[in-house]
Structure 1
Amino acid sequence: MKLLWMSLLFLIPLFAQGTPLNRPITDEVFYFIMTDRFENGDRQNDKGFDRKPYNDQDSLRDIMRHGYLPTDKGFYHGGDFKGIIKRLDYIQGLGVTSLWLSPIQKNQPVQGDGSIGGSSAGYHGYWITDFTTVDPHLGTEEDFKQLVDEAHKRGMKVFIDVITNHTADIISYHGCGDCPYRSRADYPYVTNKRGKTLNQGFVDGDLSKENFAKLTDPNFAYSPYVRDEPGEIKKPAWLNDVIYYHNRGNSTFSGENSLYGDFFGLDDLFTEHPRVVEGMIDIYKEWIRKYKIDGFRIDTVKHVNIEFWQQFVPAIRDYAKEQGIPHFFMFGEVFSAEPKILSKYTRDGRLDSVLDFAFQGSAKDIFADQQNLDKFANIFNADDLHRISSHPNHMLTFISNHDIGRLGHFILEAKNKGKFKLDPLRQVRLAHSFMFFARGVPVIYYGDEQGFTGDGGDKDARENMFPSQVDDYNDNKLLGTKKTTKDENFDPKHPLYRDIAKFSEIYKSHPVLRNGEQHNLASDQDGVFAFIRTLPELDDEYLVAFNLGAKPARLKWSRQKISDVFQGKIQGKNIIIAPQDFTIVKAPKESARLSNKNKAKVSLPEEDARVSGLFPFEVQIPGNGYHTVKFSMVNLKTNAETPLIVDHNRPYRAYIDSKDIPAGSKIRLRAEITPEGGSSFTLERETTVDGRTPTVFVHYENGNKRSEAFHVLSNGLSSFSQKVGDNGSYRFSWPNGVAGAMLLFSSREKGLSTFDQPIYIDFKNDVINKLKASDTDIVAHIYVNNQHEISDKPFSDSSKNPATLPYSPKAKAPFGQETLYVRGGMNAWQATTPLEYLGNFTYATSVELSSGLMEYKFADKSWTAQANFGAPISSEEGLQKSGGSGNLKLLLDENQKGTYRFELIHIPKEHLKNSKLDLSFFKISRL
């Protein structure tokens, strides 16, 4: 009996013994399960509330009622809580310490048109009708409680997927089916589409209870109603009142409709409403109270207003602590590959972490598409964005999931196209090792450990682990096995299962691989990516090196006493890495050698810079080894010092969010630098925080000889410069973050525009030193003479003629094409809006435009690179001409919509004086 007890104890990871509630997130290995597709432990619940024997022959009407159809990938297949309980040994053998379950609350069984092909079931869990109980297809509340208890006994945490953005699609709108989004500007809350006054006194943007008490009529955009209303369809009862939904039509996931539109038709909750905030907090407090779960994965986070998270997250966290769960952890799904956007939801939204879609996107690009390894370096170099309120090690990293698909599929797809020459099984193994040993918390997607590949994203990546009856699944090629999804796939001898189990063991055995700082290393070999991981309290540093190539690689590491951790083949100071493989070695740390601390310097912000928004404070430190840099900020008005972050990792940088710093405040940024084993010293930089948009006045010496001015910003946004008086002065607002602007002064001559040479104004060199701030605004005056010399003082010599561009009405059309096109949001990017060549190097057309932000390009029918004009602009070549250039943008207020003339001017260099480049620019004017 004693020997048996010891054997069972060995199955529990040593660091996970005892209560699972007091373990930090970096000690976890996650396993994400789509419950309906994992294991069928109780066939009597396959049809949910119907509770009929699982093998009944059902009619179409029955299937539309209960949603169970195991032969179709869009319907319930029978997986449940009892199935997960049955397979806990299998999951734990993989080294998993945390279960993440797809949403388990009661769903609308089927949505669609009533046919099998035109409908789908809520097997995935994202169409909730009853937020208070579990979906009967997955089992009972008692079954779920048993699952949590059994997991906790094994030292495993349980996380559930939760939704606050929307409910199932129960609400419709009178007068339309697939209803397009109606904006807040065109359909305000205080009038309906016929102009009748509604919700008198309600102020859009005021989130107080008093204000929302005035919102009583939901008919501002559409007239919403509950379809086939049989009473209270949703629970809790307040969810049945349409006033608690945005009711503005379908989102296109751009602009404001990303927040206020219906997510693929699902009913979008009015999450600004205090009643909705309180209701959602109460719902999820009850789940914590009843089941003592350990955390939430939160769906569709970026489609909910940030103020909701600022209330929801602290309230849930505090309640979990009251319930004895001090490490309750909430991570969000923010569907973006931009670290700046991902970090917004830990910084402003107060979440503990987010899923690292930037990591996943780079992993696909590198492991499947074999793109440049710099993509990983770029992602990790942005990690300081995550230090503001969390830590990069708290990011949840993954390579496959239920929406984007499985990495194995993308590798096989590339191989089938002849773009991938390596072994797909080894590549998937290598990608998993990268997920485990790079910074972050690894998330295994169920089935990846059995070589599942799928056919793509969404339904195509949600195969059964128990025997499948879906033909689309059963014809898939699995990696590392002769089985198909027609078979049961819980094989602990599968090579990927065994490899991942080994990775888990190493991950848990070495704290530095879970909590260490990551220092990326440059490599002079293609296909090799390496980094060092360190902890300040440990004497050893760990080198993790990956070889994505087809041949062995040799990496030199100038350390003493290198020793093996995993697969380390060491030859002196050289580490040998097998093809499509990785190795981990360690060595005593090098002491920090800082030969001349006077060479350390502040690199950002620059001297005399004005900063705003989210800005970096960065120091450059020469020499080798590791340093501890404590960043802080001093308000020079109050002398109050605010600690920022402590950074142990190059680049040594702290990001500062200036939203709470009054405009015009002078601050001192301070970096206290301590080399390992050395003495501390301090670097400082004073700067001014001012996020106000400057107004720039341009006084053009000969401007009164031209009839109009227009400007294009370097980010591609075009706008109109307002003329001031009759003396050639113009003004425009300069948005934050824009590097430069091209000013165009023009007149009309015989139906064609003539231009002075464009004037390029650089913000750093021409504007920033001329800014004058008051309590109300910030202004810069710039003086430009006829030779385009820029100063901050008026010019007196007006005898010279302005530098003009060539005027040639009979010039041949550039590129040999008489017709180009304006292609953009106004025409679905199609070649339907022709620009006709008029002579004088000019193409022109007229376009009817609505208000809002319009994106567009000038291009030919084939998107040919030499005739494809987009953003950004620069001083020498104007528009960027490239097949890969960005889009141009035009922002119009409601009172600016109408007909506009677009002109594209492309002057070949042979017609320009002293120019080695063609000049390309454009002009937009209202007719």
Structure 2
Amino acid sequence: MQDFLEVDPRFGSRWDLTELVAAAHKAGLRIILDIIFNHSGCNWLYPQDTPGGIYEAAYTLDRYPFGSWRGIDGRPVQAISGCDDAVWPQELQDRERYTRAGSGDLGAGSIEEARAEHKRSDFKSLRDFNLDSPGLLNDLARCYKYWIALTDCDGFRIDTLKHISFEQGRNFCGSIKEFAANLGKENFFLVGEIAGGDWAANRYLEALGRNLNAALDIGEMRQVLAGVAKGLAHPGAYFRGFSSDVALGSHRNLGNQHVSVLDDHDHVLGEKIRFSAYAASEAQVVAGVAMQLFTLGIPCIYYGTEQALAGPEDEERKWLPDWKASDRYLREAMFGPMHPRPGGVNSLDEQEDESMPGFGPFGTVGHHCFDPSFPIYRNIAAMAELRRAFPALRHGRQYLRQMALAEEGLEKFDFYGAGYEAGGRRLDGQIVAWSRILDDEEVLCLFNSHGSQNRSADVLVDAVLNRTNGMGSMTVVLNSAQEAIRPRRYSGAYRKGSKLMVKERDGMAYLEIRDLAASQVLVLASHPEREEGDVVHR
């Protein structure tokens, strides 16, 4: 960040941004802007004799002297002579408003400690604000209030919130909330990007209270979500996260404080690769997004997931020394430029750096990759519409469902899945099923977590609700195999609108699911909209 009150001209103008927000609102969309108040850009340099150098000085518990501001060309300047020098607005040009402690360990110290190393450190070469400086927090809040008033945006994603103390975060968010409410935006949405795992995210939600709406789920549960979708983790590992006795439990039960993440560039834990990088098939990502859309929480679908973007192509990966370790490979250019922009100030005048190839999807250049007819796109669109149509999928209670694997000789209803052993065999890659129940309505969601083999199971449903619905059946309201092609041409099993009879054994109600294809997703409802030509599977 160099100018907190201006749009980077590489992307457009303030007018362009306001027009974008207005067009989104006209289409029924809401806009959340990404903001940061922990640090600025590399707008000044440390003195020449500073340990570690002028860009990333070695961390100190004390404070280094200020060196010099940087001019438009990145070189030191004695005085600020224009809007492209140093940092703007003027309130941020006070050198006492920077911590000046150098670049330390961004994970060091307790998140409870207001002056822990991870809270004082520069973000590598990005300069940490000294938020204890009188008036600075208020001035930064005023910058972002300006963007609310100018653009009419609907919320902020707050970057690096873990690196802000609880009190500073609470005061900043409270100030933004009050300003937005005064403009009639009582539901202005603030979501925090909080590194450090699920416990850290929950702790900030507790400390900031009603001033922070939600936290991005970029900790352990992101990895578990991906593992369950690929049949590599037991579904209980994910659904136990909704219990009130675990780290994220208190806000997972509420749902509206948990933003689920499958793909993202903030992979603070685990390998920095997209879900589809090592997926068994393109279709496997549909199972992961189904978990996001149909379990408790606010689904956050990263750009390119709907096109199954997977980073560089397989043959390129062996030549990339930081493959799996750098977030650069999570940031393909979906619209496929032939060349990138040049670095530094030259990018303001020159459109492309013809000495470098563009970084497009799957190792391509100049290839447009946004395809609304792509099967994954079609499925995610259909699932999002289903979530909108069924309140139970947004607000219902949630239950992981037991099942019996009769074809495996396992007639006992249990929670089967990755790591489960029976008869000396591991039962990895089984069907994963859960119900969302709202009042007298049950919606059953399930998918085959195996990447290449069909799976079958008898899946428990609510015996009381499904005895009293007058039908004795549940209706298919989504079938990912059908959505992947032109739905009217689909001739396979579990066609949308068909019914499955609810069966009973030992007082337990269940549905027979047979030969569900690899990564196939089904959703069935006890109270669907009536459709003509219903077919019943017995």
TM-score by structure 2 length?
0.70
- Residue 585 of structure 1 and its aligned partner are, at CA, apart by 2.2
**Greater strand share, structure number:** 1
Which secondary structure does the structure 1 equivalent of 2:301 belong to? strand
In structure 2, relative to structure 1, the CA distance for the partners of 1:506 and 1:295 (3 Å cut) is same
Match of 2:57 in 1: 179
Of 474, 495, 498, the match for 1:563: 474
Q: Does 1:394 align with 2:253?
A: no
Q: Bigger CA drift: 224-233 or 321-330?
A: 224-233
Q: Is the counterpart of residue 491 in structure 1 residue 354 in structure 2?
A: no
- Give 1:886's aligned residue: none
In 2, Cα distance between equivalents of 1:224 and 1:152: 45
Distance 1:346 1:295, change over 3 A: same
Task: Give, in angstroms, the shift of residue 411 of structure 1.
Answer: 5.5
Aligned counterparts of 2:67 and 2:252: Cα–Cα separation in 1: 40
Is contact 1:337-1:361 (8 Å) kept?
A: no
In the other structure, the counterpart of 1:154 is 27
Q: Which string of whole-angstrom CA distances, capped at 9 and with x for unpartnered residues, describes residues 206-232 of structure 1?
A: xxxxxxxxxxxxxx4455443413406
Distance 2:253 2:189 in 1: 12
The C-alpha deviation readout for 1:348-373, integer Å capped at 9, x for no partner, is 12311011124322123334582333
Q: Which residue of 1 aligns with 2:335?
A: 466
Please point out which of 531, 542, 559 is paired with 2:443. 542
SS at 1:570's partner residue? strand
SS of residue paired to 2:101? coil
What are the superposed Cα offsets for residues 496-544 of structure 1, whole Å, 9 maximum, x if unpaired?
Answer: 1111110111010001111222223344433233222223xx2112222
| 1:361 matched to 2:223 | yes
Aligned ranges 1:595-634 → 2 under 5 Å: none
- Cα distance in structure 1, aligned partners of 2:253 and 2:175: 18
Counterpart of 1:448?
Answer: 305
Q: Distance in 1 between matches of 2:524 and 2:305?
A: 27
Say whether the 8 Å CA contact 2:218–2:266 is kept in structure 1. no
Q: 1:171–1:242: 8 Å Cα contact kept in structure 2?
A: no
Alignment of 1:580 with 2:519, yes or no, is yes
Distance 2:289 2:432 in 1: 15
Would the aligned equivalents of 2:478 and 2:524 in 1 still touch at CA under 8 Å?
A: yes
- CA displacement, residues 257-311 of structure 1 (integer Å, 9 cap, x when unaligned): 1100001121000123341111111111111111111000010000111111111
Q: Gapped runs of 5+ residues in structure 2? A: 71-75, 110-115, 313-323, 340-356, 403-413, 418-429, 467-471, 480-493, 504-509, 528-538
**Structure 1 counterpart of 2:282, from 425, 429, 448:** 425
AA aligned opposite 2:500:
I
Aligned amino acid, residue 469 of structure 1: M
1:343 aligns with 2:343: no
CA contact (8 A) 2:307 2:377 kept: yes
- 2:87·2:93 contact (CA, 8 Å) conserved in 1? yes
Match of 1:292 among 142, 152, 161: 152
Post-superposition CA distance 1:874-912 (Å, at most 9, x none): xxxxxxxxxxxxxxxxxxxxxxxxxxxxxxxxxxxxxxx
Which of 313, 336, 352 lines up with 2:213 in the alignment?
A: 352
**TM alignment of 1:67-78, pairs within 5 A:** none
Going from structure 1 to structure 2, the CA distance change for 1:407 and 1:154 (only over 3 Å counts) comes to farther
The CA distance in 1 between the partners of 2:66 and 2:459, in whole Å, is: 69
Partner amino acid, structure 2, of 1:173: Y
Does residue 277 in structure 1 map to residue 137 in structure 2?
yes
How far residue 385 of structure 1 moved from its aligned partner, in angstroms, is: 4.6
Q: Distance in 2 between matches of 1:413 and 1:291?
A: 37
The CA distance in 2 between the partners of 1:513 and 1:407, in whole Å, is: 31
- TM-superposed CA distance for 1:412, in Å, is 5.8
Conservation of the 8 A alpha-carbon contact between 1:369 and 1:414: no
Say if 1:248 and 1:472 are closer, same or farther in 2 by CA, change over 3 A: same
The aligned amino acid for 1:352 is N
Q: Which amino acid aligns with 2:455?
A: P
Q: What secondary structure sits across from 1:545 in the alignment?
A: strand
Matched, 1:252 2:105: yes
Answer yes or no: is the 8 Å Cα contact 1:542–1:586 preserved in 2: yes
User: What one-letter code is carried by the residue in structure 1 that aligns with 2:105?
Assistant: T
- Structure 1: runs of 5 or more not aligned: 1-127, 188-219, 416-422, 478-483, 589-927
Alignment correspondent of 2:384: 504
What aligned pairs does 1:417-816 form with structure 2 within 5 A after superposition?
Answer: 423-455=280-312, 456=324, 457-469=326-338, 471=357, 473-474=359-360, 476=362, 484=364, 486-522=366-402, 523-526=414-417, 527-535=430-438, 538-549=439-450, 550-558=453-461, 559=463, 560=466, 561-564=472-475, 565-567=477-479, 570-571=500-501, 572=503, 573-576=510-513, 577-587=516-526
SS of the residue 2:4 aligns to: strand
> Could you tell me whether the CA contact under 8 Å between 1:347 and 1:388 is conserved in 2?
no
Tell me, yes or no, if the aligned pair for 1:386 and 1:392 is still in contact at 8 Å.
Answer: no
- Aligned residue in 1 for 2:192: 332
Indicate how the Cα distance of structure 1 residues 320 and 411 shifts in structure 2: closer, same or farther if over 3 A, else same: closer
Identity %: 26
Coordinate RMSD, CA, aligned: 2.7
Kept in 2, the 8 Å contact 1:540–1:586? The answer is yes
* CA shift in 2, pair 1:555/1:578, >3 Å: farther
Conservation of the 8 A alpha-carbon contact between 1:247 and 1:268: yes
Instruction: Provide closer, same or farther for how the CA distance between residues 519 and 325 of structure 1 changes in structure 2, counting only shifts above 3 A.
Output: same
Tell me which amino acid in the other structure corresponds to 2:26: K
Give the AA of the match of 1:570: L
2:491 alignment partner in structure 1: none
Q: Is the 8 A contact 1:408 1:451 kept in 2?
A: no
**Secondary structure at 2:359's aligned position in 1?**
helix
Q: Structure with the greater relative contact order (CA < 8 A, sep ≥ 6): 1 or 2?
A: 2
TM-superposed CA distance for 1:586, in Å, is: 3.2
How far apart, CA to CA, are the structure 2 residues paired with 1:580 and 1:153? Answer: 36
The Cα offsets for residues 648-700 of structure 1, whole Å up to 9 and x where unpaired, read as: xxxxxxxxxxxxxxxxxxxxxxxxxxxxxxxxxxxxxxxxxxxxxxxxxxxxx
Higher helix share: 2
Give the conservation status (yes or no) of the 8 Å contact 1:553–1:578.
Answer: no
Aligned residues: 410
Could you tell me whether the CA contact under 8 Å between 1:297 and 1:332 is conserved in 2?
yes
